[in-house]
Amino acid sequence: MAHWLAQSTARPAGEVVVWVIILAALVALGGVVILWLRSRMLSNDDDESSPASLLEQLRKSHERGDITKEEFRLARDRLLEGVSGRPRARQKLLRGEVHDDGAIRARPGFDLLGEPLPDPAQPTETDQPPDAPE
């Protein structure tokens, strides 16, 4: 065992320094390769998934008539919420039948938001005759 220790200490210091420099260079090179791979994998080079391109696809779908104006607004608001991180004021989606002329008409007895209309047999506060005292 003493013979092995004597051999290991007999190496010149210059040879050890060379190997330390080679090892440090290999570690640095490995770090550069890892950083390059990481940046490449995490980069968002996908133009199809960027918010601007998604918004453009929504606009084109709306122009083609694939989605209604209300659906476009709802999707746009959700997309902008995701980008900004802040909720936008939500609008209620209109419900009803879309006719050939593009008009949206509510079902009988309901308004365009899907809420039931008030019963016409029940008088409301604003249904007073014009000559009634206040």
**pLDDT tens digits, 46-98:** 556 677 788 888 889 889 988 888 888 888 888 887 777 766 655 555 566 76
High-pLDDT (> 70) share of the chain, %: 67
Q: How does residue 19 score in pLDDT terms, banded at 50, 70 and 90?
A: very high
High-pLDDT (> 90) share of the chain, %: 15
Average pLDDT over residues 111-119: 79
Q: What is the pLDDT of residue 90?
A: 54
Between these two residues, 57 and 1, which has the higher pLDDT value? 57
Q: What does the alpha-carbon distance between residue 69 and residue 58 come to, in Å, rounded to a whole number?
A: 10
Average pLDDT over the chain, rounded to an integer: 76
Q: Does residue 121 surpass a pLDDT of 90?
A: no
Write 47-54 long-range contacts (CB < 8 A, 24+): 51/79, 51/80, 51/82, 51/83, 54/79
Q: What does the alpha-carbon distance between residue 80 and residue 116 come to, in Å, rounded to a whole number?
A: 32
| Close Cβ partners of 95 (under 8 Å, ≥ 6 residues apart) | 106, 107, 110, 112, 113, 114
Q: Is the entire prediction scored with pTM above 0.75? A: no
Q: What is the pLDDT of residue 30?
A: 93
For 24, the token pair is: 């440090």
Q: Are 107 and 97 contacting, i.e. CB atoms less than 8 angstroms apart?
A: yes
